[in-house]
């Protein structure tokens, strides 16, 4: 029997969501600001995406970029976001939190999982910042996370492949280990075949020039390391399609 893989595409716009579904994605991870690795999306974005999309939507709950050590006020925001998103009938959540010494913050995760119940929750790539991935995986399993997104604690899923394989072997179907981070048409087959993963995560984006004719090149809206002011990145139907085709042809 042919192996079937589920492709999750992270998107931060309605256009990307439509392209991802059209290209064959099985699930969306809805975020704002993929440039910062994905933050909590607005309710407006969620509601409009839901008007166009039929596949399941998992919503990122991440109040800011940077580390995964959250203050009490940030936790309040995360709980409020979960409550609001839940009322919009999302299909699941994506979140994560660490302690200062690089362990999964089990206490906080327990509270966030309780707030999300009965919806499934994915632990995001905060996992790649833990001190000990084998211990962290057991913590996630005992807490009741449905899946974990990971690059194998490396710069990308290709570099982290040995760790991803080890985690999948360790998980023994108790949790879904989903590779993500730098997955492209060039490396997807190697990652799927080398890891034994059933699901994978990608952005499948291509760059596009802004439609602005008048341009003020002396101003940027963010810090100096921000994305080019007059460029957009959007999920590309043909990229999603070819990733899907590669997954279909992988044994």
Q: Are 40 and 9 in contact (CB under 8 A)?
A: no
Does this model's pTM top 0.75? My answer is yes
Residue 2 above 60 pLDDT?
no
What percent of the chain clears pLDDT 90, i.e. is strictly above it? Answer: 89
Distances (CA, A) of 118 to 85, 92, 143: 13, 9, 14
Domains, the chain, in order of start with CATH, read 6-250 (3.20.20.380)
Residues 6+ apart with CB under 8 A from 50: 57, 88, 89
- Burial of 134 (C-beta count, 10 Å sphere; 0-12/13-18/19+): exposed
Report residue 226's pLDDT band, with 50, 70 and 90 as the boundaries.
Answer: low
Q: What DSSP assignment string belongs to 158-188?
A: TTTHHHHHHHHHHHTTSSEEEEBSS--TTTH
87-90 contacts: CB < 8 A, separation 24 or more?
Answer: 88/43, 88/46, 88/47, 88/50, 89/50, 90/30, 90/46, 90/57, 90/58, 90/59, 90/119
Q: Rounded to a whole number, what is the largest CA-CA distance in the chain? A: 58
pLDDT score for 197: 97
66-109 pLDDT, tens digit per residue, is 999 999 999 999 999 999 999 999 999 999 999 999 999 999 99
Tell me: the pLDDT tens digits for 171-222?
999 999 999 999 999 999 999 999 999 999 999 999 989 999 999 988 888 7
Residue 224 pLDDT grade (very low, low, confident, very high; cuts 50, 70, 90): low
């Amino acid at each position: 029997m042919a192996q079937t893989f589920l492709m999750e595409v992270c998107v931060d716009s309605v256009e990307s969501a439509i392209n991802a579904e059209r290209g064959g994605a099985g699930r969306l991870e809805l975020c704002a600001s993929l440039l910062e690795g994905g933050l909590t999306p607005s309710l407006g974005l969620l509601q409009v995406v839901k008007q166009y999309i039929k596949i399941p939507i998992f919503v990122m709950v991440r109040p800011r970029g940077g580390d995964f050590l959250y203050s009490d006020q940030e936790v309040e925001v995360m709980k409020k976001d979960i409550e609001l998103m839940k009322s919009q009938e999302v299909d699941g959540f994506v979140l994560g939190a660490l302690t200062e010494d690089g362990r999964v913050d089990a206490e906080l995760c327990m509270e966030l999982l309780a707030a999300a119940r009965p919806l499934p929750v994915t632990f995001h790539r905060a996992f790649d910042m833990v001190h000990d991935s084998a211990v962290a995986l057991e913590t996630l399993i005992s807490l009741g996370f449905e899946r974990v997104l990971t690059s194998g604690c490396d710069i990308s899923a290709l570099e982290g492949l040995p760790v991803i394989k080890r985690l999948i072997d360790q998980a023994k179907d108790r949790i879904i280990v989903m590779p993500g981070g730098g997955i492209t048409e060039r490396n997807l087959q190697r990652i799927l075949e080398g890891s034994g993963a059933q699901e994978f995560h990608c952005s499948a984006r291509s760059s596009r020039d802004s439609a602005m004719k008048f341009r003020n090149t002396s101003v940027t809206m963010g810090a100096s390391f921000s994305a080019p002011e007059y460029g957009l990145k959007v999920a590309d139907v043909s990229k999603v399609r070819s990733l899907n085709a590669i997954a279909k042809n992988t044994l």
